[in-house]
Chain A
Amino acid sequence: MADYLVALLMFGAIYALLGLGLNLQWGHTGLVNLGFVAFFAVGAYTSALLTLRGAPLVVGPAVGLVVAGLVAYPIGRLSLRLTDDYLAIVSFGFAQVVQVLIINSDWTGGNNGLTGITRLFRPFDIEVRPYLQLGLVLVLVVIALFLLQRLTASPYGRLLRAIRDSIDAVDSLGKNSSNYRLATLMIGSALAGLAGGIYAHYIGYISPDQFDSTLSFFVFTGIVIGGSSHWGAAVGTLIFVSLMESTRFLGDFNILPVTDSQFAQVRLLLVGVILILLMQFRRQGLWPYRYRRRTSRGPHADG
């Protein structure tokens, strides 16, 4: 049971990294990146392929991060000069292309995927290994949280939220919003690439079906539940994805009067109910981003 809980948290924490990346893009800058999972896949495959060819384990996820970030550049260049709807379409298409490419290429292992990927902390005993792995991911989540907090609390982050509210107004003030949207797309996607690298070296086996677009929507849902603060996005994604994973086996206990296939539908139904309740009673999510109040009037204040 403890093992299962650790594994659940591990997946949750990896998805929390995804939540943080997408929250910077969507929650703060307003970019609708429907193909977010593709950058996760790019990171996972880059890291796996590199280490399978003899690269050291620490290099894999790091290169995965860089490659995923760079891949976002042409996607952004193609779509961001236009309005957000185009990014949604282009990124969604990109995710499909990436999946099809993986399935149909030899060097990616095709439908069979890649096996024998070096596990994280392999030299350590199998008993302690999961805890070390979980510790590493949690540290990465905290570092990412800290850096993102820092970025979004600065004038840079304020400008991102301004872009989310009105691109036209930001441009009219003499600031080139396209550059900032492109940068955000790259940073968030790089984070997804890092998560992908960790994921590959955690489970040791990757295949195209693990990078289905459903995952993008799960991450979106996690952010909707958690809210646009970084903590909210991380915790929301962690809880939501963990719940989706853990309830998968609930049907096996035969406590509900439904068949297995019905049960899968019941889970999705519950997701819908949760989202509707949330939209009714707490539209901003559980932990929305809060701006800093500026109560002081500075030294020259007179009233």
Chain B
Amino acid sequence: MLTVDALKKSFGGLNVVDGCSLNVERGEIVGLIGPNGAGKTTLFNLVVGGLTPDGGDVFLNRRRITGWPSHRVGASGLLRTFQIPQLFEDLSVIENLLVARPNQSGERFWNVWIRFPRIHAEEAANEDLAWSVLDFLSMTAVANDLASSLSGGQKKLLELGRALMAKPLLVLLDEPVAGVNPVLAEQIASRVRKLRADGYTFLIIEHNMEFIMGLADRLYVMANGRILREGSPADVRTDRAVLDAYLGVE
């Protein structure tokens, strides 16, 4: 589904991402791990459109999306979450979800004045969907609260919910449990597993080894801008090169 082919990016002569290739199949949970400074976030931003690569290609369902601006990447079905949650803090929780629905008639200027029956019908349908997402996230109680009032973990959940509203082909999670307490982290893991069972696909960057080892089907390990290893969590855990990269042994 997602194919990253020999992606390159350098900043001032430093090859931060140095020919990385990876590949995510439909229905998989793929993890991307690596020590700090390995280039994971840069790779992530090259894929979702925050940065333009110096070389290489990104394909989503065989469509070349290399170098697309982030709104086009989002519209093509590749949805991301942020390491530090980027919620619409002054909107209510349910409004955060409603905004995320793609292609709304009511978001076109002229429709606001001429197409209001259709807008109302769409809004009602979108609200139903938003309530079902809130049900899934166990967040119905806070539906009308401001997003700014949520805890850190709830914010991560809401970001996941926002991505779900768009019915994405692939969800990229950027450190979904960073700074989240273990109980809520397990809740997030179980939600991701359930979604995978429903046919969703995930690519996850994560530092929390326990979390990602228990969740991912496959892992890519990155170090110094390159993909060091690819394999199942069990294989990667015992791999000598991976251990060296983490422990800093040459």
Instruction: List the interface of chain A (C-beta within 8 A of B).
Output: 150-151, 154-156, 158-159, 161-162, 164-166, 168-177, 183, 291, 293-301, 303
Query: B149 interface residue, CB < 8 Å from A?
Result: no
Measured CB to CB, the closest approach of chain A to B157, in angstroms, equals: 15
Minimum CB–CB distance for B166 against chain A, Å: 6
In the bound complex, do residue B109 and residue A173 qualify as a contact, i.e. CB atoms below 8 Å apart? no
Residues of chain B with a CB closer than 8 A to A156's CB: 106-109, 112
> When chains A and B are docked, how far (Å) is the Cα of A3 from the Cα of B119?
47
Task: Indicate if the CB atoms of A158 and B87 lie closer than 8 Å.
Answer: no
> Which of the residues A151, A159, A168 comes within 8 Å of B70, measured between beta carbons?
A168
Is the pair B87, A166 in contact by a Cβ cutoff of 8 Å? yes
Q: Assuming the A-B contacts A154-B119, A172-B48, A293-B144, are A183 and B109 also in contact, with contact meaning beta carbons closer than 8 angstroms in the complex?
A: yes
Mask for B212-246, Cβ within 8 A of A = 1, else 0?
A: 00000000000000000000000000000000000
B82 partner, pick from A150, A154, A168, beta carbons under 8 A: A168
Stretch from B26-34, B92-100, B182-190, B199-207 forming part of the interface with A: B92-100
B82 and A165 contacting across the interface, CB-CB below 8 Å: no
- How far, in angstroms, from A171 to B162 measured CA to CA in the complex? 13
Does any Cβ of A come within 8 Å of B71's Cβ?
yes
Cβ-defined contact, A162 with B88, below 8 A: yes
Interface of B is mostly: helix
B86: chain A residues at CB < 8 Å are: 166, 168-169, 172
Quick check: is B89 within 8 A (CB to CB) of the other chain?
A: yes
CA gap between A162 and B106 in the complex, in Å: 14
Assess whether B21 is interfacial by the CB under 8 Å rule. Answer: no
CA distance A98 to B85 in the complex (A): 41
Of B1-9, B54-62, B121-129, the one contacting chain A is B121-129
**In the bound complex, how far is the Cα of B162 from the Cα of A172, in angstroms?**
11
The residue from A151, A165, A171, A299 contacting B69, defined by CB atoms under 8 A apart = A171
Residue interface bits B53-82, CB-to-A below 8 A is 1, else 0: 000000000000000011111111001101
Query: How many residues on the B side are at the interface (Cβ–Cβ under 8 A)?
Result: 48
Known A-B contacts A154-B112, A168-B82; A173 and B74 likewise in contact (beta carbons under 8 Å): yes
1/0 contact trace for B130-147 toward A, CB 8 Å? 011000000010011000
Question: With a CB–CB cut-off of 8 A, which chain A residues contact B71?
Answer: 170-172, 174-177
| Interchain CA distance A303-B48 in the complex, whole Å | 38
A-B contact count (CB 8 A): 116
Q: Say whether, besides A168-B70, A173-B74, A158 and B98 are in contact (CB < 8 Å).
A: yes
* CB-based contact A172/B74 at 8 Å: yes
Asked if A151 and B112 sit within 8 Å, CB to CB, the answer is yes
Residues of B close to A297: CB separation below 8 A: 128, 131
A175 to chain B: which residues have CB within 8 Å? 71, 74-75, 102, 107
Residues of B in contact with A (beta carbons under 8 Å apart):
48, 50, 69-76, 79-80, 82, 86-92, 94-96, 98-100, 102, 104-109, 112-113, 119, 122-124, 127-128, 131-132, 140, 143-144, 162, 166
- B84 shortest CB reach to chain A, Å: 10
Question: How many angstroms from the CA of A171 to the CA of B102 in the assembled complex?
Answer: 11
Determine which of A154, A177, A294 lies in contact with B143 in the assembled complex, contact meaning CB atoms within 8 Å.
A294
The answer to whether A154 and B87 have CB atoms under 8 Å apart is: no
Q: What is the CA–CA distance of A168 and B162 in the complex, to the nearest angstrom?
A: 14
Instruction: Flag if B87 contacts A174 (CB, 8 Å).
Output: no
Across the interface, B88 reaches (CB within 8 A) one of A154, A166, A295, A296, namely: A166
- A169's partner among B72, B82, B128 (CB-CB below 8 A) is B82
> A298 contacts B131, CB within 8 Å?
yes
Please, which residues of chain B bring their CB within 8 A of the CB of A171? Answer: 69-71, 74
**Does B90 contact A155, Cβ atoms closer than 8 Å?**
no
> Which of B48, B107, B108, B122 counts the most A-chain CB atoms under 10 A from its CB?
B107
What 5 new A-B contacts, CB under 8 Å, besides A158-B98, A159-B99, A301-B131?
A161-B91, A166-B87, A170-B99, A172-B74, A172-B82
Contact of A174 with B74 at beta-carbon distance under 8 Å, contacts A166-B86, A291-B95 already known: yes
29 contacts between A and B (CB under 8 A): A155-B105, A155-B106, A155-B107, A155-B119, A158-B91, A158-B95, A158-B98, A158-B99, A164-B90, A166-B87, A168-B70, A168-B82, A169-B162, A172-B48, A172-B70, A172-B71, A172-B73, A172-B74, A173-B74, A173-B79, A174-B71, A174-B73, A174-B102, A175-B107, A176-B69, A294-B127, A294-B144, A296-B127, A298-B124
